[in-house]
Chains A and B, each alone.
Chain A
């Protein structure tokens, strides 16, 4: 009972959370590297370990469409996808958020085509950062598991859909030692889902998804914008409860040796593990370095971020995605969060790891060295060939 140690991949961790959550409907379509989540979940369905209706649709567009139907009908609904699949469902991703449906979707991050590439970067979920979904990022399999539990509760508390992101292959296909809760604890933690208005309540008919002209659309969008302000307080209530069960402390971001750090590297997902390991190594040499990991990216926890980064000498933001025609997305947002503070540090950008390009201890050490020596440009690449390099 309580907390159980297991060896699992990130994909298995997502499927295990889904088994325990036991959603009413899961609608999904195959795409690498998301597929192992659905393989494992299909096994749970076949063995009768979940009561879920598993709808194996003919496209991701239909996956999200069926999720919208099922969630409006009144069910607890989950799905998973990657890259092009997320891009194909984008139209309905936006509708799901606008209709305030508490759908939870595991996004196994993979580079968007083209050129086609099946490996990890964050171009897929970053392309959805303005879609109205809450986004949680996961450093490892245990965080994938925790984020799924947080996501279900958070989605239903604030009536908003949640993406739980993990790095394709790096996290989804690597076996790690991790901890899970027993089934009964999860059931108690997530509770029963009781929607207020739903389609299958035939005694009280609702019209969902009506035509909304210029006389109401703006007010509805304003409600959606302002509802996002309720997410961070709800997140803290939920993670405090989860923290008691897991014996951990959670924040929207995770600080690592920031109390006395002068130079900081900010990152998302599995790279945060590499950065923390690099901090450990450099600390042994007496360097005052630290790390900040963003766990909740939407809504953007700018107050938490500013609290940790103000007064530092220099900060490097690592982006595994690009914005064509402007600076990289995480960098853009971190810099904006610090803009109003007179004690803001110098903030520089590193684009790294596109299409699954490896990032290692040497790369992160180089970033810290460039921060310390002041040789970092405002915008930098990490681990890419120069034009004259073979």
Chain B
């Protein structure tokens, strides 16, 4: 997708202002970019979470496209039903128009409570795009750890004290779990790399069958950083290889951005966020996280070199 910021800004807005998401929240940026990248009519499902509670406070709505919220753990099952109904009505000639289907869920609604629903919908092969806006914790309920929370991060349920330094476990590799379903298209993206994200969305909806994009969604409140740093922090995640940009198309891995020699140390990522404050001077811990990031990055490079 080739487009400059001016062209991007002039595209139709399908998710409009007036919502009550926090300043600096990446979720509405991700939603706007996603919907701008889709040329066709689109129906959206959203899991319970920050995005849903803040964008549809009755009688207002930020959604200028047909939109459904059902519950927390079932965005994928809900969009399955919508898409199945579309197929039924299209076959009967009751609908002629081409319609695309997108589900948005946070990491809680996708990595954790909604994983079964997502897995089922992927396996059944529904024609839809699932976008996870991964802010690495249960932010809507007040910053509790999820299986997407990285090791060492403070949350209200992974506290810092003499017996514990934030979350004890590494985060779940959901992108790989989704890729293991052998669906046609899986990708990782961030809102900082917006053309890359939009290209991935375009690809995800153009391919027949399920597509999944895991988008890192920096959260100023939960990650403890100033709300004008969202995009910088998303870029840092890419530059440190904490959150590599890659895609898996029909089983073939491709890294979309390799910082090469300019790969930044994970220390910079850790120092950028207050949720890691207790680790800022803990060299051992930082080393452990660096090793984890390096291991995952090397494995990804191996997978992508297999072609």
The residues of A with any CB-CB pair to B shorter than 8 Å are: 24-25, 27, 51-53, 55-59, 61-62, 65-75, 77, 91-92, 95, 199-202, 205-213, 216
Contacts and interface: CB of A to CB of B under 8 A. Distances in A.
A213 B116 contact: no
A53 B94 CA distance: 14
Given A51-B91, A211-B58, A59 B116 contact: yes
Given A59-B120, A202-B43, A206-B66, A53 B87 contact: yes
Contacts of A205: 63-67
A106 B181 CA distance: 32
B59 A216 contact: yes
Interface in B114-156: 116-117, 119-121, 123-124
A243 B238 CA distance: 69
Contact of A74 (B42, B58, B65, B89): B89
21 contacts: A27-B80, A52-B88, A53-B87, A55-B84, A57-B77, A58-B120, A58-B123, A61-B77, A62-B121, A65-B78, A70-B84, A73-B81, A91-B71, A92-B71, A199-B68, A200-B66, A202-B41, A209-B68, A210-B56, A211-B52, A211-B53
B64 to A, nearest CB: 6
B85 to A, nearest CB: 4
Contact of A58 (B87, B89, B116): B116
B95 to A, nearest CB: 6
Interface string B48-79: 00001100111101011111111101100111
4 interchain residue pairs of minimum CB distance: A69-B81, A58-B120, A66-B81, A65-B77
B88 A58 contact: no
A95 B74 CA distance: 12
A97 B82 CA distance: 17
Given A69-B80, A207-B56, A53 B70 contact: no
A70 B117 contact: no
A199 B89 contact: no
Contacts of A53: 84-85, 87-88
Contacts of B124: 55-57
A55 B123 CA distance: 12
Nearest to B41: A202
Contacts of B86: 73, 200
Contacts, number: 161
Given A62-B80, A65-B70, A65-B77, A211 B119 contact: no
B85 A74 contact: yes
A375 to B, nearest CB: 50
Nearest to A206: B66
Contacts of B117: 58-59, 61-62, 65
Contacts of A95: 70-71
A70 B85 contact: yes
B4 interface: no
Nearest to B98: A202
A201 B71 contact: no
Given A57-B120, A77-B85, A211-B57, 6 more contacts: A27-B80, A58-B116, A65-B117, A73-B81, A73-B85, A200-B99
A68 B81 contact: yes
B6 interface: no
Contacts of A70: 81-82, 84-85
Contacts of A201: 66
Contacts of A216: 58-59
A61 B99 CA distance: 26
Contacts of B43: 73, 199-200, 202
